[in-house]
A and B are shown apart, each in its own frame.
Chain A
Amino acid sequence: MSKMVSRFKSVITYILILLFSGFFFMPLFWMIIISIKRPIDQFTLGFIPWIQFEPTLRNWESELVGQASENLRALMNSTIIGLGSAAIATFLGTLAGYALARFEFKKIKNVDIISSFLSLRFLPPIALAIPYYVLMQSIGLLDTQLAVILVHAAAFLPYSVLVMRDAFKSIPVAMEESAFIDGASVLRALTNIVLPVVAPALAAVFILTLTFSWNEFLFAFILTSKNAYTLPIRMAGSITTIGVIFYTLSIRQLISVIPPAILGLLVQKYIVSGLTMGAVKA
């Protein structure tokens, strides 16, 4: 009896898991399939290549070769903006995170400084987009990569401060103390002794902020037009201009999803603490 019950339970478990897997995987799988279907097949339901439909790379070819300059520009912009803003956010976050982990501030308590960074994380981007537009217009930075880099770095700074602080907290102070006895400066202790230990967390913060920037839409949408547009802007434009040419939409979508997916899976270990800003540990 109890054996049957447990068998029944495990069947239910697998059914539920398969249902959820289908829910999360099918949409992306469908985009891959659509991208290798001939235009004539795009409204059919077949999903097994060679058996149900004749796969083709023509769509990829025409998008990557025919539309090369626009795609390349969006890709370059997304990469430069992502790397630039991740570099600034990680650099500032490392310094502040280190100080907040190791030093007790007197006038304003550490926890208050940290909470302030945390509440910056929850500001609605649209409230900032209005002054940003006017500001960037007045200093001539509209539609430049620099404008988006500066804004993204500020938007993702709270992440890097809190996650880096968390990483520094997890290593013993004793590591630096001997260096201080030998007369090392704080900066020296940080760069030569502590940073090598937290290197994995540092890389994770860099990669996470890079993917946040890569996927960000609203700021890039408002601050760029025909020069500095990123991949999400190009994708959003295709919905109205391309309409129902599904294979083109699917290729553009895959181009934007694949790089962050690969990077993200590399830093899986740090995602939990990264996404909750250190509030939950993996």
Chain B
Amino acid sequence: MAKLTAYHLFVLIAVAYATIITIFPLAFMVYGSFTNWRLDVSGMNWVGIKYYIDLIEDYRFYNSLRVTFLLTALAVPTEIVFGMILAHLMRLQIRFRRLFRTIFLIPLFCAPVAVSLMGEVLFYEGGGPINTVLNILGFGSIPWRSSPNVAPLTVVLCDVWMWTPFCFLITLAALEGIPKELHEASIVDGASSFQIFKSIDFPLISSPLITILMFRVLDTIKIFDIPYTLVGGGGPGIATEVMSIYIYKQAFRDFTLGKAAATSVVFLVIIAIITSLFIRRLRKYYV
């Protein structure tokens, strides 16, 4: 009996901590979304689903949805494909393998804000290194951060720089888990390295790839740091105003916490749907 209580206690402490610091505040936020909660005025009066109805007509809400999914749709596939190419290259017989692997890992440890600082320097439009090189090669300067059409791509580029290493590392780990005999047998049968990849490696790593996809999709949807710091709070205009930034502005610039909370709830529901789609596949790792 003593054994039983100790195990229960161990889990309960962590569950209690998560409940107090995460679940209660979240529940309070959901309650706040039905009130005229403000940052600058005390008191919360019930307004029902007013803010939810407002969202239906809110063009900035739709803009933030569009921008968020655009960034995700551009960044995540690029990261996964780059990661697969890199992982494949790293498995070939090459020199300085460890050195290259270390280089490919560096971005993993950079803060997103540090990447923004790097972007500030590299993408500087009036004489930054990238535009200077483009000019030398005979191309015009690119308005990396001032054009509403280019700025989302600049954010994507930064995200790809940051997260390709993650995709690379996990894909490589999955590839290294494949028994060598499978490869040897197909080489004897005369298969090319692409054929091997297509018919042996790819099916065997499809499950880790889905894991990667899940982590990248759900993390990119929540993106805040880079578009907030690199392009002046989701700018130019609202060209990179993702969901998180729009909610942030509602709460901490307009002080309309109730409205921000309602938008957050919608955001949460979207994330919960995507999470539940993936998590069913992931559960098997934890049984």
Contacts and interface: CB of A to CB of B under 8 A. Distances in A.
Interface stretch (B24-32, B47-55, B147-155, B180-188): B24-32
A23 B121 contact: no
B275 to A, nearest CB: 5
A215 B112 contact: yes
B205 to A, nearest CB: 9
B116 A126 contact: no
A20 B161 contact: no
Chain A, interface residues (CB within 8 Å), range:
35 or more
Contacts of A129: 248, 251
Contacts of B203: none
B282 A279 contact: yes
B285 A279 contact: yes
A120 interface: yes
Interface in B198-238: 208, 211-212, 215, 218, 221-222, 224-225, 228-230, 232
A60 B281 CA distance: 50
Contacts of B228: 236
A58 to B, nearest CB: 18
Nearest to B250: A130
B247 A217 contact: no
Interface string A220-251: 00100000000110011011100010100110
A129 B264 CA distance: 10
A265 B108 CA distance: 10
Contacts, number: 288
Majority secondary structure, B binding face: helix
Nearest to A244: B124
A199 interface: no
A211 B94 contact: no
B81 interface: no
A267 to B, nearest CB: 11
A27 B275 contact: no
Contact of B251 (A30, A105, A123, A130): A130
A276 B170 contact: yes
Chain B, interface residues (CB within 8 Å), range:
35 or more
Interface string B1-38: 01110111011011101100110011011001000000
B103 A126 contact: no
A45 interface: yes
A205 to B, nearest CB: 13
A14 to B, nearest CB: 7
A231 B110 CA distance: 12
Contact of A103 (B7, B118, B164): B7
A21 B22 CA distance: 40
A217 B224 contact: yes
Interface string B240-283: 00011001100110000100110011011001100100010011
A120 B11 contact: no
Contacts of A17: 89, 94, 100
A64 interface: no
B73 interface: no
A130 B11 contact: no
Contacts of B82: 20
A217 B111 contact: yes
B178 interface: no
A281 interface: yes
A81 to B, nearest CB: 13
A24 B161 CA distance: 7
B114 A92 contact: no
A118 interface: yes
B169 to A, nearest CB: 6
A239 B116 contact: yes
Contacts of B59: none
A93 B18 CA distance: 11
Contacts of B139: none
Given A125-B222, A236-B229, A281-B173, A157 B111 contact: no
A250 B13 CA distance: 42
A43 B109 contact: no
Given A30-B122, A272-B169, A95 B13 contact: yes
Contacts of A192: none
Contact of A16 (B85, B126, B222, B272): B85
B177 interface: yes
Query: Which one of A133, A240, A253, A280 has the greatest number of beta carbons of chain B within 10 Å?
Result: A280
Contacts of B118: 27-28, 30-31, 253
29 contacts: A28-B110, A30-B121, A30-B122, A31-B121, A45-B136, A92-B17, A99-B6, A99-B8, A111-B283, A113-B11, A118-B279, A120-B18, A126-B247, A126-B248, A127-B267, A128-B25, A130-B261, A133-B252, A135-B28, A154-B21, A180-B3, A232-B225, A246-B121, A264-B108, A264-B109, A265-B105, A268-B105, A275-B169, A278-B286
Interface of B: 2-4, 6-8, 10-11, 13-15, 17-18, 21-22, 25-26, 28-29, 32, 39, 82, 85-86, 89, 92, 94, 100, 102-114, 116-118, 120-122, 124, 126-129, 132-133, 136, 161, 164-166, 169-170, 173-174, 176-177, 208, 211-212, 215, 218, 221-222, 224-225, 228-230, 232, 243-244, 247-248, 251-252, 257, 260-261, 264-265, 267-268, 271-272, 275, 279, 282-283, 285-287
